Structure 1
Amino acid sequence: MYDRDDISLLEAELEGDPLDELVAEGNEVEAPKPDPDLMLQLLNSSQNQQRMIAARAFCELEEPRAIPQLIELLQDACPLLRVSAAYALGRNPSSAAVEPLIAQLGRDWNGYVRKGIVWALGNCRDRRTLEPLVTALKADISAVRLWAASALAQASHLGYEAIISVIPVLIEGLRRDPVSAVRSNCAWTVGQLCRELPSNAIYGTAIDALLEAFAEDEDLGVREDAKVAMLQVGDTRGLQIIEEIEQEGLL
Structure 2
Amino acid sequence: MHDKEEKDELSLLNSEDHLETPLDRWDQQEEETPPPDPEEMLPLLQASEPLQRMTAARAFCEICDDRAIESLMQLLREPCPLIRVSAAYALGRNINSEVVGALIEQLQQDWNGYVRKGIVWALGNCCDRRVLSPLVDALKYDISAVRLWAASSLGQLSPLGYEAVVAAVPALIEGLRKDPTPAVRSNCAWALGQLGREMPSNVVYAGVIDSLLEALEEDEDMGVCEDAKASLLRVGDPRALQIIEDLENDGFF
Q: TM-score, normalised by structure 1?
A: 0.91
Q: Distance in 2 between matches of 1:51 and 1:7?
A: 24
In the superposition, relative to structure 1, how do residues 95 and 159 fare at CA in structure 2: closer, same or farther (>3 Å)? same
Q: Is the 8 A contact 2:38 2:63 kept in 1?
A: yes
Question: After the TM superposition, which residues 56-71 of structure 1 pair with which residues of structure 2 at under 5 Å, given as runs?
Answer: 56-71=58-73
Q: Which moved more, 1:149-158 or 1:182-191?
A: 149-158
- State the AA in 2 paired with 1:6: S
**Which residue does 1:124 correspond to in 2?**
126
Q: Distance in 2 between matches of 1:21 and 1:76?
A: 21
**Which residue does 1:166 correspond to in 2?**
168
Q: Distance in 2 between matches of 1:224 and 1:8?
A: 28
Q: Distance in 1 between matches of 2:118 and 2:156?
A: 16
| 1:94-118 residue CA offsets vs partner (Å, 9 max, x unmatched) | 2210111001001000000000000
| 1:30-53 residue CA offsets vs partner (Å, 9 max, x unmatched) | 521111011110011111011111
Unaligned regions of 5+ residues in structure 1, if any?
A: 10-15
Q: Distance in 2 between matches of 1:148 and 1:44?
A: 30
Correspondence 1:42 to 2:47: no
In the superposition, relative to structure 1, how do residues 7 and 36 fare at CA in structure 2: closer, same or farther (>3 Å)? farther
- State the AA in 2 paired with 1:182: V
Question: After the TM superposition, which residues 89-100 of structure 1 pair with which residues of structure 2 at under 5 Å, given as runs?
Answer: 89-100=91-102
Q: Distance in 2 between matches of 1:179 and 1:98?
A: 28
Given candidates 25, 29, 43, the residue that maps to 1:20 is 25
- Matched positions, count: 240
Question: After the TM superposition, which residues 75-86 of structure 1 pair with which residues of structure 2 at under 5 Å, given as runs?
Answer: 75-86=77-88
Given candidates 67, 73, 76, the residue that maps to 1:74 is 76
Shift of 1:92: 1.2
Q: Distance in 1 between matches of 2:168 and 2:13?
A: 30
Shift of 1:19: 2.3
Q: Distance in 1 between matches of 2:152 and 2:58?
A: 22
Q: Distance in 2 between matches of 1:214 and 1:156?
A: 23
**Which residue does 1:13 correspond to in 2?**
none
Q: Is the 8 A contact 2:156 2:194 kept in 1?
A: no
- State the AA in 1 paired with 2:136: V
SS at match of 1:154: coil
Q: Is the 8 A contact 1:7 1:111 kept in 2?
A: no
Shift of 1:21: 2.1
- State the AA in 1 paired with 2:192: V
| 1:117-143 residue CA offsets vs partner (Å, 9 max, x unmatched) | 000001001110010000000000000
Correspondence 1:237 to 2:246: no
Shift of 1:8: 4.0
Q: TM-score, normalised by structure 2?
A: 0.91
Q: Distance in 1 between matches of 2:180 and 2:130?
A: 27
**Which residue does 1:6 correspond to in 2?**
11
Given candidates 217, 225, 235, the residue that maps to 1:223 is 225
Q: Is the 8 A contact 2:175 2:188 kept in 1?
A: yes
Runs of at least 4 residues off by over 6 Å = none
Shift of 1:247: 1.3
Given candidates 114, 117, 131, the residue that maps to 2:116 is 114
- State the AA in 2 paired with 1:169: A
Alignment RMSD (CA, Å):
1.8
Shift of 1:243: 1.1
Q: Distance in 1 between matches of 2:12 and 2:195?
A: 30
SS at match of 2:156: helix
Unaligned regions of 5+ residues in structure 2, if any?
A: 1-6, 15-20
**Which residue does 2:135 correspond to in 1?**
133
Q: Is the 8 A contact 1:7 1:110 kept in 2?
A: no
